[in-house]
Amino acid sequence: MKLNSFKIKTSLAAGALFAILSTSLVSCGGGDGAAKGTDSTASAGSDDALIGAGSSFDYPLFSKMFSEYNKTNGLKVNYQSVGSGAGISQLTNKTVDFGASDAPMNGKQDSAVTAPVIHIPVTAGAVVLSYNLPEVKDTLQLSPEVVADIFLGKITKWNDPKIAAINKGAKLPATSIVIAHRSDGSGTSNIFTTYLSKVSEEWNTKVGKGSSVNWPVGLGGKGNEGVAGLIKQTPGAIGYIELAYAIQNTMAYAKVQNKAGTFITPSIASVTAAANITIPPDSKVSLTNTEAADGYPISGFSWVLIYKEQKYNDRSLDRATKVLKLLSWAIHDGQQYSGALNYAPLSPAAVAVGDALLKSATYDGKPILQ
């Protein structure tokens, strides 16, 4: 693809911006560079400290959950916000006690692990389309067709007739659209690209779905934090991030038209509506493009991933038990912290499936939780 001078300048500016962002925190009160951790003092060598890694989508919720759990149980949890793909890689290499992902492991990832991995649903949330248009005062509405055309690079200006047609009365600028997307392997990307593949045959054919795809256009940022930073600092930008990051950073985000034809504001209620479905025994299910009339269409579960057999790498039964008790607490008592952080608490059906999966985990072939 040939780049005109505007695109080259934009790419260089964004590259310099991202270099700055990598050393400062965009949200949640501190910077991560390559990753953020909930407790940097936790040590992999101590059974009083657990190590997790993965989804940046989950980071705000995990920060709160693990802090509260530490207050009552004294257990330190070092959770590194490195993205779902990296979390799965670290679990595969057995360098962490648990991974976290906003996408179930795929066939290639399943074949890379040496033992079965179980997926415990831990939360549900919204992937929002955040934009930087200070002059637009009303909340933008975006249809599936418009979203797909923007990310395919077919709509390049904010005053495009297709955007104007569904935002009557809005004063849309002639500003060029700058796409911000994830540069790392990301479950958030999987949720968003799965949605696009369902609503756009062109996207499904040309790009497809996955944690990492070849983006037709745009600039990459690492983690939800990096993409949020690019959007905030780039006039005309639009990108996909987790709802909590948009709210914490006071960022505008669009209403998205769902399958029923209604423009839905992402919220706890609209994510809960999207998640009101039958949960399969392995918990691997997509919430995107929901049939629910009041459901937000770019919603998704996030999972904690652990090995079903916990006796490996000289792990003690005590350590394995602490992992299982932490996760059991997270899907029960820990859910009370979801709403304030704009995550949807798990439904009773999702909790029941999570309980069954946790009870299937073993140490030396024997169940850990009774």
**Domains of the chain, residue spans:** 5-25+126-274, 49-124+301-367
Closest CA to 99 of 360, 305, 363, 340: 305
Q: Which alpha helices (H) appear in the chain, and where do they start and end? A: 5-21, 59-73, 84-92, 107-112, 144-151, 161-165, 187-199, 201-206, 223-233, 243-248, 268-274, 317-331, 348-359
Quote the pTM value.
0.81
Q: Cβ(187)–Cβ(299) under 8 Å?
A: no
Residue 93 in tokens: 């290499």
Would strands 117-131 and 76-81 be described as parallel, antiparallel, or unpaired?
unpaired
What is the average pLDDT across 289-305?
95
CA distances from 358 to 147, 251, 308, 321 (A): 38, 37, 8, 11
CB crowding 217-245: b at 16 or more within 10 Å, else e? bbbbbbbbbbbbbbbbbbebbbbbbbbbb
CA distance 198 to 202: 10
Q: What is the pLDDT of residue 364?
A: 97
Q: What is the pLDDT of residue 108?
A: 93
32 or 117: which leads in pLDDT: 117
- pLDDT at residue 355 is higher than 60: yes
Report the percentage of the chain scoring pLDDT > 90: 81
- pLDDT at residue 25 is higher than 60: no
Q: What is the pLDDT of residue 248?
A: 86
What is the average pLDDT across 131-151?
96
164 or 244: which leads in pLDDT: 164
- pLDDT at residue 144 is higher than 70: yes
The two domains 5-25+126-274 and 49-124+301-367 share their CATH topology (first three levels equal): yes
pLDDT digits (tens, 9 = 90+) for 312-336: 999 999 999 999 999 999 999 999 9
- pLDDT at residue 212 is higher than 90: yes
pLDDT digits (tens, 9 = 90+) for 223-276: 999 999 999 999 999 999 999 889 988 999 999 999 999 999 999 999 999 998
Question: Residue 55 region, left (φ>0) first, then alpha (ψ -120 to 50), else beta?
Answer: beta
Question: The tokens 């997270």 sit on which residue?
Answer: 330
CATH code of the region 5-25+126-274: 3.40.190.10
Q: Cβ(283)–Cβ(354) under 8 Å?
A: yes
Give residue 38's pLDDT band: very low, low, confident or very high (50, 70, 90): low
Rounded mean pLDDT of the chain?
89
Residue 220: beta bridge partners? 181
CA distance 303 to 296: 19
140 or 248: which leads in pLDDT: 140
Q: Which alpha helices (H) appear in 93-200, and where do they start and end? A: 107-112, 144-151, 161-165, 187-199
CATH code of the region 49-124+301-367: 3.40.190.10
User: Phi then psi for 142, rounded to 5 degrees?
Assistant: -130, 135
Q: What is the pLDDT of residue 185?
A: 86
- pLDDT at residue 7 is higher than 90: no
Would strands 117-131 and 299-307 be described as parallel, antiparallel, or unpaired?
antiparallel
Amino acid at 122: V
Q: What is the pLDDT of residue 370?
A: 82
Question: The tokens 């055309």 sit on which residue?
Answer: 149
Give residue 35's pLDDT band: very low, low, confident or very high (50, 70, 90): low
